[in-house]
Amino acid sequence: MATTDHQFGAEIALLARTWRAELDRRLNHLGLSQARWLVLLHLARHPQAPTQSELAALVGVECATLARLLDGLEAQQLVRRVTVAEDRRAKRIELLPPTAALIERIEAIATELRGEILADIDDEELRVCQRVHARMLANLERR
């Protein structure tokens, strides 16, 4: 291992934190906290409405934390909880139709920022970086 390996994890964490903070700053005018826009993006990008526990795992928060976020998003009429027929204790989280325009705006701002961040990185460099990150995640998952 190289002597700089100990810095790598900190650099990844800093990149993720800084990227998210900048996106949060750019989305601030939409009246959404970072936690709320993150939940909306996960819902929009998920192929079907996830259950509340699935969504908590996707977002990386505890179920109780997600429940409070969903309460706020429901109050804003952006999402709704729908009972799962096979398990009446479970709830699927659905985006409400008016949320589509908001999601488009969030995605446009996120795409613009991603373009700025990746501006001087060619496609091959990005593919190598993604392969390395995928291997690192796989190593973590094996543990």
* Any domain includes 107: yes
pLDDT at 45 exceeding the cut of 70 = yes
pLDDT at 26 exceeding the cut of 60 = yes
* Any domain includes 57: yes
DSSP characters over 56-120? HHHHT--HHHHHHHHHHHHHTTSEEEEEETTEEEEEEEEE-TTHHHHHHHHHHHHHHHHHHHTTT
pLDDT at 65: 93
How far apart (Å, rounded) are the C-alpha atoms in residues 50 and 11? Answer: 32
* Any domain includes 8: no
CA 108 to chain centre: 15
Higher pLDDT, 8 or 1: 8
How far apart (Å, rounded) are the C-alpha atoms in residues 74 and 70? Answer: 6
* Any domain includes 7: no
Cβ count within 10 A of residue 34: 14
pLDDT at 89: 84
The structural domain count of the chain equals 1
CA 11 to chain centre: 20
Mean pLDDT of the chain: 92
For 86-136, the pLDDT digits (tens) are: 888 889 999 999 899 999 999 999 999 999 999 999 999 999 999 999 999
**pTM for the whole structure:** 0.79
* Any domain includes 89: yes
pLDDT at 39: 94
pLDDT at 1 exceeding the cut of 90 = no
pLDDT at 2 exceeding the cut of 60 = no
- Which domain, by its residues, includes 123? 20-142
Parallel/antiparallel/unpaired status of strands 87-95 and 79-84: antiparallel
* Any domain includes 99: yes
> Looking up tokens 């993150």, which residue turns up?
38
How far apart (Å, rounded) are the C-alpha atoms in residues 11 and 17? Answer: 10
Q: Which secondary-structure segment (H or E) carries 27? A: helix 5-27
* Any domain includes 80: yes
* Any domain includes 2: no
CATH number at residue 114: 1.10.10.10
pLDDT at 4 exceeding the cut of 70 = no
- 3-state secondary structure at position 1: coil
CB 41 within 8 A of CB 110: yes
> Mean pLDDT across the stretch 63-83?
94
